[in-house]
């Protein structure tokens, strides 16, 4: 169970029907990367706050676990997640900020407080808050350069590929090293120019891969947002899949992000994986 919470958090860091597509009878016209990036950015989900309920199914080693919960995001500031089993009693709570990670375990009455680089130590991989926010909303990373993409057409979708995509220097924190994404591929729907799939891979480890597929796009306040996300993490030793379905999505509402640690809770030194 602890491994489940860990992988759920990793996927937050590293959350129906297919988007309405017109019948494509002729091959897509090839477009340049600048054109596709501009279309992507213009059609991204724009919000100040986002709230949603979710149900999630976790698959690992032929085992299946189902949970539900709530997601609240204050753009570029905080990601708040409350996790419950199907009975509706909160089991865990996460709070992510650009600088920190906070975790409450209601079952064991424990808590964890760490800075964000703790996640990178666990993963042996560089992640940041911007990536976590993008993976949950179906947006592209906003703090990374866009001038190294190459465009192509792949099975009636547009595809963007890049190698060594770097974080813009003005957003690199003092505690961070030179940050880049080794290999990234993005697939775009040719009608709404929304991301339908994104893949990140290690340049030196072909077996280590993270992917997210987005579907069930519906209009929320005039903007398309995916209601279903299918995450997969593949390493040399492990394969993990988490499918998330959102409901009751709302944008722009006033939100609260409660996170109080009871005096009786004991601090965890590390996020133990078993």
How far is Cα 55 from Cα 46, in angstroms, rounded to an integer?
Answer: 23
Domain count, the chain: 1
pLDDT tens sequence across 140-165: 999 999 989 999 999 899 999 999 88
259 lies in some domain: no
Higher pLDDT, 97 or 204: 97
State the distance between the two ends of the chain, measured CA to CA, in whole angstroms: 8
pLDDT top residue among 130 and 176: 130
- Are residues 101 and 116 in contact, defined by beta-carbon separation less than 8 angstroms? yes
- In a domain? residue 274: no
Q: Quick check: 19 pLDDT over 50?
A: no
pLDDT at 63 over 60: yes
Within-domain flag for 78: yes
- Residue 263 maps to a domain: no
Range of the domain at 94: 2-15+30-253
Residue 261, in any domain of the structure: no
CATH code for position 224: 2.50.20.10
Q: What is the pTM of this model?
A: 0.85
Cα–Cα distance, 138 to 136 (Å, whole number)? 6
For the beta carbon of residue 39, count every other beta carbon within 10 angstroms: 17
Residue 25 falls within a domain, yes or no? Answer: no
Whether 267 maps to a domain, the answer reads no
Q: Is residue 271 part of a domain?
A: no
């Amino acid at each position: 169970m602890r491994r489940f919470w860990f992988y759920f958090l990793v996927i937050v860091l590293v959350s129906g029907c297919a988007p309405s597509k017109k019948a494509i009878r002729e091959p897509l016209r090839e477009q340049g990367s600048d054109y596709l990036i501009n279309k992507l950015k213009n059609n991204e989900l724009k919000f100040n706050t986002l709230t949603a309920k979710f149900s999630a199914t976790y698959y690992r080693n032929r085992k299946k676990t189902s949970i539900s919960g709530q997601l609240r995001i204050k753009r570029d500031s905080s990601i708040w997640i409350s996790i419950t089993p199907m009975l509706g009693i909160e089991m865990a709570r996460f709070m992510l900020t650009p600088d920190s990670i906070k975790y409450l375990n209601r079952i064991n009455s424990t808590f964890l407080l760490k800075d964000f680089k703790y996640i990178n130590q666990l993963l042996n991989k560089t992640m940041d808050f911007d990536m976590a926010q993008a993976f949950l909303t179906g947006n592209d990373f906003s703090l990374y350069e866009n001038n190294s993409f190459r465009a192509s057409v792949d099975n009636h979708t547009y595809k963007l590929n890049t190698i060594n995509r770097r974080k813009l220097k003005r957003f690199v924190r003092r505690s961070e090293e030179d940050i880049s994404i080794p290999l990234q591929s993005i697939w775009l729907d040719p009608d709404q120019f929304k991301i339908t799939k994104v893949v990140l891979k290690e340049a030196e480890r072909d077996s280590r891969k993270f992917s997210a597929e987005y579907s069930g796009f519906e209009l929320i306040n005039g903007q398309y947002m995916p209601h279903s996300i299918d995450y997969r993490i593949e390493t040399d030793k492990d394969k993990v899949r988490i499918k998330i379905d959102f409901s009751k999505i709302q944008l722009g509402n006033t939100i609260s992000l409660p996170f109080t640690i009871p005096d009786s809770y004991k601090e965890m030194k590390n996020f133990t994986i078993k």
